[in-house]
C-alpha cells in the first residue's frame, strides 16, 4: 500500500550541494578513517552537548552501543546481565548480547513511558553483582524526566548508566540541558528515520576522554597507535560522504527541530482533549514521531484502521515490545505497564516542514474515531 502521508520523510540537502562536497572529498583523496569532515562533525556534535564532552562518530548506533557496552563494562562472558527496557527498539537487547551480557527487561512508568527506576532498584536487589549495568533508553529520543534520580541512583549504587538516546539528538532534558549530557555516555543514531538524518551513522557522547579513545580504537580494528591490533575491534567508522551530509544537516537542524515541535503542538491541541495521552517531555524533544496512548486497545485498533483508510502511514511503537519478540520471548515475565501501553500506542507521522493539510488529515482520522 502506498500512502499520501508517509510515516517518515527525511529532508536532505540538495544534490548539487552534496556533489560539491563529494568533489572536494575526491580531490583530497581521503574517503574515510577519521577524515577532516568526520572530525568536524564529531567536534560539532560534542560542542552541541557542552564543554568537556567528547563525541565519537560511528557507522551506526547499533555498533556504537556494542562498542560502548563492551568498553564501559568490559566485554562480558555471558554470565552477567544488563538491564534494558522492553519498551524500546530491539537494538538495545541485541547490543547487550553482542557485548557478552544477558538482557534483563525493565518495566516502564505509565506517564513518561520511560524505564522505571523503582523496578531497577528491585532488579538490583534481586540480582546483586550479577547486574553489570543499565542501558537506559530515552524513549523515542525524549529526555527522561527522571534523569536526575537515575544519575543519583547510579552513583550511589555504583551501577554504570549507559543511555540509548538514538532518536534524541536535538532533544533537551526537563532542566533544559541537552540530551547527551547524562550517564557515563549517551548514544545517538543518525539513521534516515531519526530527526538528525544522515542515512546511516551514529555517535557516542561522553565526558570520559579515555573511554572516547577506546571507542575510536574499537571501531578501527582495535588498533593501537602503530596500526597493530591491541584490543578486540571491528570496522565501525563513519565515511566522509556521510559526515559531509551530517555537516550540511547541522546548518539547518535547529529550524528543522522547531518545525517538528510545532507539529506535536498541533497534535496535542487537537488530541489531548479527546483523551489521547502524549509522553511527558515530548515538547522538548526533537520529535522523531509522535507516539500517543489511546484510552483503550479498541480505540487504538480503530485509530490504526482509520489512519490507513485516510492513506496516512502510522505505526505502533513499540509493539511488539522486545520481551514479546521471538528471540527474547519470556512468556512468564510480567511487565504490566509495558504490555498495557503496547496495546494502546499509535505512532503518528511527524515530518520536518510537515504540510498543514497533512497534519489536519492525521487529526481528522483520529477525530473520526473519537466520535464513533
Nearer to ligand PLP, 84 or 212 (CB): 84
Stretch that binds ligand PLP, among 88-96, 114-122, 301-309, 341-349 (CB under 6 A): 88-96
- Buried residues in 70-104 as b, exposed as e (16+ CB within 10 A): bbbbeebeeebbbbbbbbbbbbbbbbbbbbbbebb
Query: Footprint of ligand PLP on residues 353-372 (CB under 6 A)?
Result: none
Q: How many residues bind ligand PLP (CB under 6 A)?
A: 14
Kind of pairing between the strands at 102-106 and 81-85 = parallel
Cell (9 digits) for 69 = 557496552
Give min distance, CB of 167 to ligand PLP, in A. 5
CA distance 90 to 328: 9
314 in Cβ contact with 347 (< 8 Å): yes
Which ranges in the chain belong to alpha helices (H)?
A: 15-28, 36-49, 61-73, 91-98, 117-127, 147-157, 209-218, 240-251, 253-271, 297-309, 336-342, 356-370
Nearer to ligand PLP, 60 or 291 (CB): 60
Nearer to ligand PLP, 58 or 365 (CB): 58
Does residue number 282 form part of the binding site for ligand PLP (CB under 6 A)?
Answer: no
97: three-class secondary structure by DSSP: helix
Does residue number 92 form part of the binding site for ligand PLP (CB under 6 A)?
Answer: yes
CA distance 216 to 59: 12
Q: List, in sequence order, every residue forming a beta bridge with 299; answer none if it has no partner.
A: none
Give min distance, CB of 69 to ligand PLP, in A. 12
Stretch that binds ligand PLP, among 86-94, 153-161, 291-299, 349-357 (CB under 6 A): 86-94
Site string for ligand PLP, 102-141 (x = CB under 6 A): -----------------------------------x----
Site string for ligand PLP, 157-186 (x = CB under 6 A): -------x-xx-------------------
Nearer to ligand PLP, 116 or 299 (CB): 116
Task: Give one DSSP letter per residue of 338-372, joined into a string.
Answer: HHHHHTTEEEE---TT--HHHHHHHHHHHHHHHT-
Site string for ligand PLP, 31-70 (x = CB under 6 A): -----------------------------xxx--------
DSSP conformation class of 168: -
Does residue number 88 form part of the binding site for ligand PLP (CB under 6 A)?
Answer: yes
Nearer to ligand PLP, 163 or 366 (CB): 163
Give min distance, CB of 106 to ligand PLP, in A. 14
Cell (9 digits) for 30 = 581521503
236: three-class secondary structure by DSSP: coil
Q: Of 89, 98, 105, 150, which lies in the binding site for ligand PLP, with binding defined by CB under 6 A?
A: 89
CA distance 42 to 352: 23
**CB atoms inside a 10 Å sphere around CB 47:** 11
**CB atoms inside a 10 Å sphere around CB 226:** 6
Give min distance, CB of 88 to ligand PLP, in A. 5
Nearer to ligand PLP, 92 or 239 (CB): 92
Site string for ligand PLP, 185-224 (x = CB under 6 A): ----x-x----------x----------------------
CA distance 136 to 117: 10
Give min distance, CB of 224 to ligand PLP, in A. 27
Residues lying near ligand PLP in the complex (CB under 6 A): 60-62, 88-89, 91-92, 137, 164, 166-167, 189, 191, 202
Amino acid at each position: 500500500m502506498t500512502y499520501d502521508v508517509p510515516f517518515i520523510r527525511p529532508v536532505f540537502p540538495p544534490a548539487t550541494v552534496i556533489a560539491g562536497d563529494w568533489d572536494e572529498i575526491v580531490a583530497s583523496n581521503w574517503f574515510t578513517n577519521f577524515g577532516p569532515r568526520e572530525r568536524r562533525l564529531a567536534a560539532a556534535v560534542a560542542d552541541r552537548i557542552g564543554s568537556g564532552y567528547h563525541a565519537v562518530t560511528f557507522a551506526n548506533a547499533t555498533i556504537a552501543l556494542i562498542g560502548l557496552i563492551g568498553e564501559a563494562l568490559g566485554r562480558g562472558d555471558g554470565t552477567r546481565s544488563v538491564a534494558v527496557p522492553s519498551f524500546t527498539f530491539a537494538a538495545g537487547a541485541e547490543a547487550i548480547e553482542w557485548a557478552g551480557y544477558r538482557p534483563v527487561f525493565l518495566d516502564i512508568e505509565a506517564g513518561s513511558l520511560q524505564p522505571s527506576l523503582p523496578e531497577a532498584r528491585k532488579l538490583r536487589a534481586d540480582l546483586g553483582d550479577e547486574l553489570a549495568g543499565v542501558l537506559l533508553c530515552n524513549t523515542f529520543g525524549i529526555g527522561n524526566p527522571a534523569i536526575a534520580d537515575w544519575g543519583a541512583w547510579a552513583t550511589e549504587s555504583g551501577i554504570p548508566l549507559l543511555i540509548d538516546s538514538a532518536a534524541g539528538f536535538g532533544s533537551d532534558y526537563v532542566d533544559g540541558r541537552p540530551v547527551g549530557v547524562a550517564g557515563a555516555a549517551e548514544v545517538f543514531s543518525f539513521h534516515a528515520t531519526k530527526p538528525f538524518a544522515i542515512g546511516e551513522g551514529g555517535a557516542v557522547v561522553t565526558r570520559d576522554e579515555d573511554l572516547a579513545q577506546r571507542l575510536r580504537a574499537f571501531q578501527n580494528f582495535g588498533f593501537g597507535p602503530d596500526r597493530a591490533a591491541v584490543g578486540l575491534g571491528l570496522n565501525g567508522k563513519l565515511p566522509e560522504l556521510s559526515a559531509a551530509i551530517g555537516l550540511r544537516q547541522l546548518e539547518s537542524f535547529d529550524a528543522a527541530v522547531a518545525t517538528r515541535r510545532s507539529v506535536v503542538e498541533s497534535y496535542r491541541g487537537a488530541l489531548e482533549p479527546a483523551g489521547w495521552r502524549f509522553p511527558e517531555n515530548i515538547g522538548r524533544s526533537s520529535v522523531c514521531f509522535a507516539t500517543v496512548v489511546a484510552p483503550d486497545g479498541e480505540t487504538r485498533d480503530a485509530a490504526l484502521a482509520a489512519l490507513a483508510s485516510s492513506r496516512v502511514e502510522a505505526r505502533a511503537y513499540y509493539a511488539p515490545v522486545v520481551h514479546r519478540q521471538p528471540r527474547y520471548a519470556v512468556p512468564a515475565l510480567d511487565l504490566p505497564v509495558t504490555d498495557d501501553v503496547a496495546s494502546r500506542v499509535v505512532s503518528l507521522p511527524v515530518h520536518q516542514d510537515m504540510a498543514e493539510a497533512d497534519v489536519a488529515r492525521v487529526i481528522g482520522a483520529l477525530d473520526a474515531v473519537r466520535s464513533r
